[in-house]
Amino acid sequence: MKKCPCGSKRHYKNCCQPVHMNHSNAETPEQLMRARYTAYAIGLTDFIQQTYHSENEAKHDRNGIEDGTLNSWDKLVILDTAPGRSDEEGFVHFKAYFQRNGQSFCLQERSRFIREGGCWYYIDGIISE
C-alpha cells in the first residue's frame, strides 16, 4: 500500500483519499491542509480549486494551480495548529518542501481556513521568509 504524501505515516486510502473523494470529510483545518498538500503532490487540480474559499482569487486561476502541481513535493511539516476567533475559523502553520527545475525550496505559511456549510476552505495565509 502507498503511504500518503502528507507525511501522516498512514496509507493514502485511509488518510487523504476520503477527503479527496468528499471534501466534507475534512473535519479540521489540518486535515484539509494535508489533503490540499497531497492534492498538489498527486496532481488533483479540481480538488485544490474546489477547496479555495470563494473570496480567494486564486480559486479562479486554474493555470496557476496546475503549475503548482508540476513541482516535486517532497515533505510537509505541520508546525502548529490554532483555533480562530470562532469554531468556523482555524489556522495551520506549516513548511512544505518541494523541488522545481532542479532547485529545492521551502514554503512556510500560516494558513487561515474558514468553515462554511459544514466544509473547511482555505481562505488566505501569511508566507514567512
Please tell me the total count of domains within the chain: 1
CATH number of the domain that 62 lies in? 3.10.450.50
pLDDT at 58: 84
pLDDT in tens, 50-104: 999 988 888 788 899 999 999 999 999 999 999 999 999 999 999 999 999 999 9
User: What pLDDT score does 59 carry?
Assistant: 78
pLDDT beyond 80 at 129? no
Domain that holds residue 100: 12-128
Residue with cell 508566507: 127
Cα separation of 95 and 24, whole Å? Answer: 24
pLDDT score of 21: 98
* Per-position DSSP letters for 64-119, written without gaps between them: HHHHHHTSEEEEEEEEEEEE-SSTTEEEEEEEEEEEETTEEEEEEEEEEEEEETTE
Is residue 28 assigned to a domain? yes
